Structure formats: C-alpha cells, structure tokens
Amino acid sequence: MDFGLKLKSLRENANMTQSEVAQKMNVLQTSISKYELGINEPDFETLVKFADLFNVNIDYFLDHTEVKTSWKDLNRIISINKKNYSFFEIMDMLVQLPEKDKICIINIMERFKQYNEK
C-alpha cells in the first residue's frame, strides 16, 4: 500500500478530516489531499510528524513493515508477575523457542485477541 492510502486509512481510523490533520500538521488541507492522492510525497521531517500524529513507526509508511506500532510503544516496559520485560526481550524469548512452541503461543495470543474483541 502506498503512502497516500496509508495516510488516508490512518486519518479515517482516527475519525479526522483532512482539515483537522492539516491543522495539527501546520500545513494546508490541500497538502493533505495531495499526499493522499499520491500527487506529492512528504519530506522526512513531515513523515516523522505524521508518524508521531498517528502513533505509528516510520517504517510502516515506507513499506518496510505492516506493523504500525511506534518504536516508542515497542520500547515500553511490560510488567508480568512483578518482573519487567521490554517488548524486545519478550520477542527474543519467542524467537528462541522451538517452532511448535512458537505456533502454540501465537495461537493462544490470537484466541485472547478474539476473546477481548467481543
């Protein structure tokens, strides 16, 4: 998906108009429209501002990943049973597991996600 479509999707998911995004970004509404239509592409500084506004990582906009979560959020500490883990420590543990255990954990996580979405 190109930048413009991702921007539009994030904006709509945030229930924001192009004008509201433009105001927060300190640009004209026509600039947002041109980004979404693929007429213009943002410079790096503007890309960072969009990432911050929608709390996604820049790699998502650059098609390096489909993971939207910002690096700030990935870096946060997760407390489990009075022990603190970073997201990266948890991922490192997951990567080191045998394949069958990874599948099991992913299945459990998907079921919890489905259960919590009800």
Residue 13: the pLDDT is 92
Residue 68: the pLDDT is 61
Q: Is the pLDDT confidence value at 14 over 80?
A: yes
Residue 24 — pLDDT band, cuts 50, 70, 90? very high
Average pLDDT over residues 12-16: 95
Euclidean distance between the first and final Cα of the chain, in Å? 29
Residues 63 and 101 in one domain: no
Residue that wins the pLDDT comparison between 108 and 58: 108
Average pLDDT over residues 7-33: 96
Q: Is the pLDDT confidence value at 1 over 80?
A: no
CA–CA separation, 46 and 44 (whole Å): 5
Average pLDDT over residues 83-88: 81
| Count of Cβ atoms closer than 10 Å to residue 118 Cβ | 4
Residue 31: the pLDDT is 96
Residues 50 and 67 in one domain: yes
Domain count for the chain: 2
At 41-68, the pLDDT tens digits run 999 999 999 999 998 888 888 876 565 6
Residues 94 and 41 in one domain: no
For the four alpha carbons of 11, 35, 54 and 115, in that order, the dihedral sign comes to: positive
Residue-range definition of the domain harbouring residue 84: 76-117
Residue 71: the pLDDT is 61
Residues 67 and 105 in one domain: no
